């Protein structure tokens, strides 16, 4: 059967660029899309990675995406709750061999 998770993965494959677009394409509520994505990440079907918009020359400690401890925020698996700035998270489909 085709459920919300399959529908969300299909929207990924079809080129949706944001979660709002996934919700629009699948007809699922944003809440269900968000929960589905989170679960697909848990299942290892999607990869979640926090992004920074640019690296300051002073290193990770000087970045809004860094954690309060100064460790890198970009490239972390999902937003760190202790981060300083906004989190932009990239979700990518993980191919299964």
Partner 1 sequence: MRELTVSPKLPSVGAACHGAIDEAGRPGSPIIALAGAPNVGKSTLFNNLTGLRATTGNWPGTTVDVARGAWRFKPGDKVCDCAACDGDCRAGNVREFTLIDLPGAFSLDPLSPDEQLTRTLLLDAPEAELPDAVVVAVDAGHLARSLYLVCQLRETSHRVVVALTMTDVARKAGVEVDSYALAEALGCPVVVLDPRRRVGMDNLTRTVREAVPRPRPTPREYPRKAADDLAREDERFAWIEAAVDAGTTRSGEERLSTSDRVDRWATHPVAGPLLFLAVMWGVFQVTTAVAAPLQDWLDGLFSGPVSDIVGAGLAALGLGGSWVEGLLVDGLVAGVGMLLTFVPLMALMFVLLALLEDSGYMARAAVVTDRLMRTIGLPGKAFLPLVVGFGCNVPAIAATRILGDARQRILVALLVPFTSCTARLTVYVMLGTIFFGRFAGTAVFLMYLASIVAVIGVGLLLRKTLWRTMGSEPLVLDLPPYQVPTARLTAAVAWNRLEGFLRTASGIIVVTVCAVWLLQAIPAKPGAGFNEVPVQDSAYGVAAQAVAPVFAPAGFGQWQTASALVVGFVAKEAVISSWAQTYAVDEPLEGESAGSFGEAVTASFVASSGGHPLPAVAAFLWFLMAYTPCVATLAAQRREVGWRWTLFGVAIGLAVAWLGAVGIFQLGRLFW
The site for partner 1 (CB under 8 A) is made up of 1-6, 12-13, 15-22, 28-32, 34-39, 42-43, 45, 48-49, 51-59, 62-64, 75, 84-93, 95
From the list 4, 66, 81, the residue with the least C-alpha distance to 40 is 4
CB of 82 to partner 1, least distance (A): 14
Distance of CA 62 to the CA centre of its chain: 23
Cβ of residue 68: shortest distance to partner 1, in angstroms?
12
Output DSSP code: residue 95.
Answer: P
Output the smallest distance, CB 62 to partner 1, in A.
3
Nearer to partner 1, 28 or 80 (CB): 28
CB closer to partner 1 out of 82 and 88: 88
* Longest CA pairwise span in the chain (Å): 51
* The pairing of beta strand 88-93 with beta strand 46-51: antiparallel
């Amino acid at each position: 059967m085709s459920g919300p998770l399959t529908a969300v993965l299909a929207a990924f494959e079809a080129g949706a660029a944001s979660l709002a677009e996934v919700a629009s394409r699948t007809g699922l509520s944003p809440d269900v899309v968000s929960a589905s994505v989170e679960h697909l990440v848990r299942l290892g079907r999607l990869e979640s990675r926090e992004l920074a918009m640019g690296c300051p020359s002073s290193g990770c400690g000087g970045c809004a995406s860094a954690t309060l401890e100064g460790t890198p925020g970009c490239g972390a698996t999902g937003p760190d709750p202790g981060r300083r700035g906004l989190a932009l998270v990239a979700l990518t489909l993980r191919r299964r061999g």
